[in-house]
Each structure stands twice: as structure tokens, then as C-alpha cells.
Amino acid sequence: MSADNKVILIIDDDRFLLDMYSLKFKQQGFTVESSTSGQEALTKLRDGLQPMAILLDIVMPGLDGIEFMDAVKKESLAPNAMLIVLSNQGEEQDIEKAKTHGAHEYIVKANSVPSEVLDKVMAAISRHTS
């Protein structure tokens, strides 16, 4: 995995999950930026944040994950970032919709403990950057 940009942006309106995942990624040497809303995350990206990966939930108040991915694409924000959905929405149509809107990976929260999420994200980043 490339060590030159170990920045990850995590977006989730659940503060507990946001803090837990932030801690897990920091323990693996990542610099973590976190946002509790898609709008807040867009502001960080517009201000120049260039993460290697963006972990985002789909169901959030205001700007949801699909709308967030559409805005990132439309505005060409973080063009090299990998978009990884981390959601409890696990139906096949949810996964396909997210991938259609730019998600590189889709992880169902309820099916993965935090260490598995970390492993899956690290594997996805490895595949994406190699």
C-alpha cells in the first residue's frame, strides 16, 4: 500500500461509529478526517482535502451518501480517492445503486465487526493503488 497519502475521510452521522472507526484507522497509521454529514465532508473536500479513501454511509440526514457521491463526481473532488460505502443497507439493489453512483466497494456494517471493516478497506485500497 502506498504510504505517501494515508489519509482517510469517514462520513457517518452516528458519532459512536465515527469515533470507533476513526480510532481503528488511526491505530493502523492513517490520518483520519471525519464528518457527521455529507455537506460537512463536501466542504472539507472543496477546501482541498485529498484522501486516498472516503468511507461513507448511505442513510444520513440532509445530503445522503448517493447525493454525496454524485456531488463529488460532478465537482471532480478527490479524483483519486476510493469511495467505499459502509452502510446497513444491504439489499442487492442498494449495492448496485451505490456502485452505479461511483462506489468502488460496499461493506454492510451489520455483517462486519470493526476489525473486519478495517481489513476489507485496507484490502480494497491495496487493490486500488496497485
3-class DSSP state for residue 93? helix
Please give the Cα distance from 19 to 12 (Å, whole number). 10
Taking 70 as the pLDDT cut, the residues of the chain under it are: 1-4, 130
State the cell numbers at 25: 484507522
Q: What is the pLDDT of residue 130?
A: 67
| Residue pair 74/46 in contact by the 8 Å Cβ criterion | no
And the C-alpha cell for 20?
Answer: 470507533
Quote the distance between the C-alpha of residue 8 and its chain's center: 8
- CA-based nearest residue to 126, from 57, 56, 69, 52: 52
> How high is the pLDDT of residue 4?
60
Q: Which CATH class is domain 7-129?
A: alpha beta
**Can you give the pLDDT at residue 2?**
45
- E strand or H helix at 9, and its extent? strand 7-11
Across the chain, how many H-helices and E-strands are there? 5, 5
